[in-house]
Amino acid sequence: MEEKIWKDHYVLLNKDEENELEAFGYKTQGCRRALCITGYILSCGVLLLLFYWKPEWDVWANCVPCSLEEADVILLRTTDEFQKYTRKKVTWIDLSTLALPVGSYSECPLIADKDSVINRAIMKPQLKVRCIQVQKIRYVWDLSVKEFRKVGQLVCGPNAIEVEIRPIWKLLFKEILNPFYVFQAFTLTLWLSQGYIEYSVAIIVLSVISVGLTVYDLRQQSTKLHDLVEEHNKVQVTVCTKNEGFKELESRYLVPGDVFLLDGKKLSLPCDAVLIDGSCIVNEGMLTGESIPVMKTLLPLTESLEPWKAHSMEDYRRHVLFCGTEVIQAKSSGRGPARAVVLQTGFNTAKGDLVRSILYPKPLNFQLYRDAFKFIVGLSAIGVLGLIYTVCVFTYHKKPVADVVAMALLLLTVAVPPAIPAALTTGIVYAQRRLKKKKIFCITPQRINICGQINLVCFDKTGTLTEDGLDLWGILPSEGSRFQKIHKFPSSSPLPWGPVCGAMASCHSLVVLDKKVQGDPLDLKMFEGTHWEIEESSTARNTAGAIAACIVRPGPNASSAPVEGIAILHQFPFSSGLQRMSVVSQKIGEEQYDLYMKGAPETVSSFCRQETVPSDFLEELKTYTSQGFRVIALAHKVLSLPEDVDVGDLEREEVESGLEFLGLLVMENRLKPETKPVLRELAAARIRSIMVTGDNLQTAVTVARNAHMIHEDSKVIIVEASEPEGSAPASIAWRLAEGSKTSAAAPNEVCAHAQEKITLEGEGCHYHFAMNGKSYQVLVKHFYSLLPKILLNATVFARMSPGQKSSLVEELQKLNYYVGMCGDGANDCGALKVAHAGISLSEQEASVASPFTSQIPNIQCVPELIREGRAALVASFAVVKYLTLYGLIQFVGTALLFWQLQIFGNYQYLMQDVVITLLVCLTMSLTEAYPKLAPYRPPGQLISPPLLLSVVLNVCFTIAMQTCGFLLVKQQPWYVALASWRHCSLRNHTLLPTGPGENSTSSSAQSTVLSYEDTTLWPLSSINCIIVAFVFSKGKPFRKPIYTNYVFSAILTLQLAVCLFLFLADMDAVYSGMQFLCTPVIWRVYVLLMLLVTFCVSFFTEDVLLQNKHLWMLIKTCVGYQSKSQYRKWQQMLQRDPNWPPVNTKDFAARSTAEVYINPSYEHRD
């Protein structure tokens, strides 16, 4: 019974999706609740605050586990590495009180479909539904299968993406209840109670400004997002209802299943819908960042019992109109106006999903923030030791309990600088500002530090490494299964009329918008090469009646043609999955129908009659692709159609067969001038570059060679994997690309040569793997164990779909690479979001597709971002180290003074806290990035030997110096334990020390501040803070030298001058204000000598020993250190494998293992 309850207690929501969650059922128990309320009162709200930070503790304390069916509270846990908990209350919706949507049946609408999720969720006869709402999506309890399910019916609420403008008081409370601010409030209360008013007020003012700016920023973001989505919530649409016919309706009342009209006017789509009649031209720029018009066609009517998505396969997107995209043109079919059926509403739509990803971003897993927290915990532990020490000392001297508690808590707070999180934020803000000057915009600033760790960058090809537009280079026509003479562009004579000219003039998806021809750049260049013209909008008449069509006619510069024009009657749009497009056209004034196809040469040739394909087709194709040209094949077929046919009803599979091969269209895609130098710079910095493209494999390899991504002497091994066929298992073949110089070499020779050249980062490696998307998919599915080995040296991935790009980035991350992705933001959305640093090359200031957007459309932004990331990361480490040292320097000084029941004065603390530390934290991160990328990365962890040693050794130097000062001053002949004067006099040099008896009798009147120990320890600790600030502000190799940070250098000089003035000036006013005693000049010289020795030792240790890369490499070798990164382990394994890489061999899979996940949201064309 218990096992059954435990099984029913848990369920997995959104299985195998990005937002997968574990749900646990709990029931509130009265006695537990009463105990918790008592705890809240007795702890003065501390327990409540703890439960606010840890919602799982709240649920475990107040509730008992139970089955999900009985639960009134659901505890949700993410399945990623963060295991983040959230608490959700189960609510009931009374369906009997809900208004029915327009067009629904009035008689018993809720049980019309007995198998629907909503019907199975209704508790009858009460008509109630149990549900929870998670990240704007509602899940109902399905009574039949006993689990929570997403719904898209009545209970999904209005069709509106409602983003609440969060009230200022809510934002304020959320910010100030942050553990950091709570600890700060406790510290400030303690300091104020001790009369330390000046610094406390300064920190309060800074905190108020910091909280105010954060709240203002969050409020602005909330308002912007609200305004962005609000205008689309109130769109007027014409809905087809059963009883009332056509009816104008506000879009918020739409529900899945409603049919609405697209009447030709521009419309911002208020929902996801599938087109069932007519065709549309849509701008999907909001989703993809690419404002190229996309043609949408109606969902074909089939007898298949399969779901429509499965029937259309990955190409289903061509029938779907996505929420937030704009319908530019709608064309009616012969049956009437264009119509669409509502698929998804509100936050379940494509736009809703995008808005949810902004509202609930994926948390960042970065070591720095976890390590900073560990540092704070470590310092707190030291603070607790200080607290115990203080209690012992003050209790031993029989001090009042109030004094003991106050002093103990004071030493605890001294050890933990409350400014660590704020100082880390400051560094990121400066880095973001520097990036903005370089036209790189960032929507998630925390990722800037992560950029400092990037060691692999994936690049899209077209528009990223190469020029955005393609230039028409030539056409290689085919006639009688032989290639004819090439026609080059530009040419003095126009392209002669023929099937090739007809294909180039009509096989495209171009449209005329605002008197300008728009569409895919490739289509545009191809059409321009014919010198034909396109009409704005036309209606062609065929035997079936009037039909909307696009008409193209010969222009004044075109070659003479025996036709008046061509009417493009129907399109089968291009898709990256099918790698082809085709059109059904008709010459004006003729009865005959033509089908033209264009696409990837390998794909198009497979649809042609083999006798029409030239025998040297593959050789010619390789000739051009090996030179880096983009090659498109053209084909044609005369359609034999009955007179009364409706071309809109034609099945693609039926008409796309038995075509005649027309020839190859050769297009030139030049490298951008910045590509080679940037890739050279990344290679010099030992950062791997990978090309991930939708283009032909041979073209991609050639571009990679031309861009020096693959060195001239390197071999390219093509990996070709095939799915299982019949009884034959999946296979993988390895062959040397023809461009490789030693293609005749035996496999073992290649292996040996490659083996010698492998280095740790894969730099200088003499072999590279290249493969296409199909092979990659087979590798993931059937050869997953081989995948890590291949990825270590894979450089070219061609014909990759957007989903495969995302999968590749994730697989590289599993090998512990820090992956950057640079693309044009169109078909790279998924990969840009998944990568550690996604950089979209877009003219927009900020793209929702990626964390970073570069307005300069070339890859120069990649090294810039890595440079700034490294500088920001090093600055963050420096600030954390400095604040740790500052806290511990102050802690040591205070602990020594506590030994004799003394303390630093308020103004002494104020100098250290405000004049030194606060200014150092605000200016330390202003140092700019070093212009040259170093061939290694900065440490990625605070808890690493060099950084920990740096802190530990500097703390040791501090303890040694301050203890020496504290003990030596007591040995001086002029020292007295109790002094009541400040002004300097010759008497100081001859004063005899006070006797022990005298000291004890006057101890009650002794000052808690005035002492020679205090006057000695203050300059030692204060100037030591300036020393560590200088020592930790390392310049090369990641930041410019310290003197280039003029503000910081000036502040350090000024601080040193002020400290020396206060210490050396023989002025009563200074001594009185700072609560110092006058000491002999010789003693002051000794103090300065101690500081000078500390500076020299600290600087030598930090600069010569701890920052010495070669020394650490030697130590690692001596101790046999092994890297924890997966890719390093694989590299070491492959170095010992004499049979790697395999060449001219074929392997077979044992059996199928796992399938790659392709996210349909990102299936866009290249």
Q: Which residues are known catalytic residues? A: 460
Using omega within 30 degrees of 0 as the cis cutoff, is the peptide bond preceding 673 cis?
no
Q: Which two tokens stand for residue 965?
A: 């000062």
Q: Which two tokens stand for residue 33?
A: 């609740």
Whether 890 and 1004 have beta carbons less than 8 Å apart is answered as no
Rounded to 5°, the CA angle 491-495-499 comes to 155
Whether 659 and 609 have beta carbons less than 8 Å apart is answered as yes
How many Cβ atoms from other residues are within 10 Å of residue 932's Cβ?
13
Whether 379 and 870 have beta carbons less than 8 Å apart is answered as no
Measured between its terminal Cα atoms, the distance across the chain in Å is 56
Question: What is each CA distance from 824 to 69, 318, 840, in whole angstroms?
Answer: 48, 21, 5
Q: How far does CA 950 lie from the centroid of its chain?
A: 32
The Cα–Cα gap between 372 and 108 comes to 60
> According to DSSP H, which parts of 507-633 are helical?
521-528, 601-606, 617-625
Question: What is each CA distance from 975 to 30, 788, 990, 1077, in whole angstroms?
Answer: 68, 71, 10, 11
User: Number of C-alpha atoms within 13 angstroms, CB side, residue 1076?
Assistant: 28
Identify the residue whose tokens are 């880095």: 431
Identify the residue whose tokens are 């001219």: 1144
Pairing mode, strands 688-692 and 456-459: parallel
Helix (H) / strand (E) element for 364: namely none
Q: What one-letter code names the amino acid at 767?
A: Y
Question: What is each CA distance from 760 to 717, 756, 783, 785, 999, in whole angstroms?
Answer: 20, 12, 24, 21, 68
Q: Which two tokens stand for residue 795?
A: 């450089």
Rounded to 5°, the CA angle 52-57-59 comes to 95
Question: What is each CA distance from 430 to 378, 418, 423, 425, in whole angstroms?
Answer: 28, 20, 11, 9
Closest by alpha carbon to 703, among 755, 744, 668? 668
Closest by alpha carbon to 1129, among 664, 816, 673, 661? 816
Q: What are phi and psi of 100, to 5 degrees?
A: -80, 150
Q: How far does CA 881 lie from the centroid of its chain?
A: 27
Radius of gyration from C-alpha coordinates of the chain:
37
Instruction: Report the b/e string of 586-611 with b at 16+ CB within 10 A.
Output: bbbeeeebbbbbbbbbbebbebbeee
Orientation angle between helical segments 420-437 and 861-898, nearest 10 degrees: 160
Instruction: Report the b/e string of 479-514 with b at 16+ CB within 10 A.
Output: bebebeeebebeeeebbebebbbbbbbbbbbbbbee
Q: What single-letter DSSP state applies at residue 545? A: E
Closest by alpha carbon to 883, among 420, 424, 369, 428? 420
Closest by alpha carbon to 793, among 822, 761, 833, 750? 761
Closest by alpha carbon to 769, among 733, 802, 800, 745? 733
The answer to whether the Cα torsion of 955, 961, 964, 970 is positive or negative is negative
